[in-house]
Amino acid sequence: MLNNISGFLGVGGGIIGDYESIATVTVGSATPYIDFSTIPQTYKHLQIRMNVQMASTADMNMRIGTGGTLDTGSNYYYHALYGSGSGSATSLNSGGQVNFGAYLGYFNSGSSSFAGVVTDILDYTNTNKYKTVRTLEGNDSNGSGFVFLSSSLWSNTGAINTLRVYSKDSINIAANSHFALYGIKG
């Protein structure tokens, strides 16, 4: 029996005290992407917490890199499930498409609200396996928003040290969007 619990399990499976801030970015003016580079190799997992608004309807994606170079090849696969509250859930999947990267969510056109997004990058330093990315996203557009869950695979065994969040639709990330990268201790 545990007598003293100092936190609770978070999305990444760690105790709250196991999360350490690596970097934060607040968008000053609309931008096509956000980069995190020279990511320390001292954690078990990574987590990006985002409060994001897109300039118009867009998919949000992530390129992953090793050795400081982003992978722009067809090495990304994903499965996703989303619902809008106005019908049944919809599933998506894709693989080997150059323009996708890891899939982080879908944003409604004309939404004046920000979406909350939590993305985990599991075992990012392990050079013996492909990398898994899982995302939970939700946004509201006056009652017509989405709830979104995805799992992506980056078919590369390299240790991750660079991440780029962007839209495959070439839509800008709006001003005041906020991104926070955390390392999760093992």
Q: What is the mean pLDDT of residues 87-92?
A: 80
Instruction: State the chain's mean pLDDT as an integer.
Output: 85
What are the chain's domains?
A: 22-131+146-184 (2.60.120)
The pLDDT value recorded for residue 133 is: 97
pLDDT per position as a tens digit, 102-139? 988 887 655 567 889 999 999 999 999 999 999 999 88
16-22-26-29 Cα dihedral, nearest 10 degrees:
-150
Of 56-60, 95-99, 108-112, give the lowest mean pLDDT range: 108-112
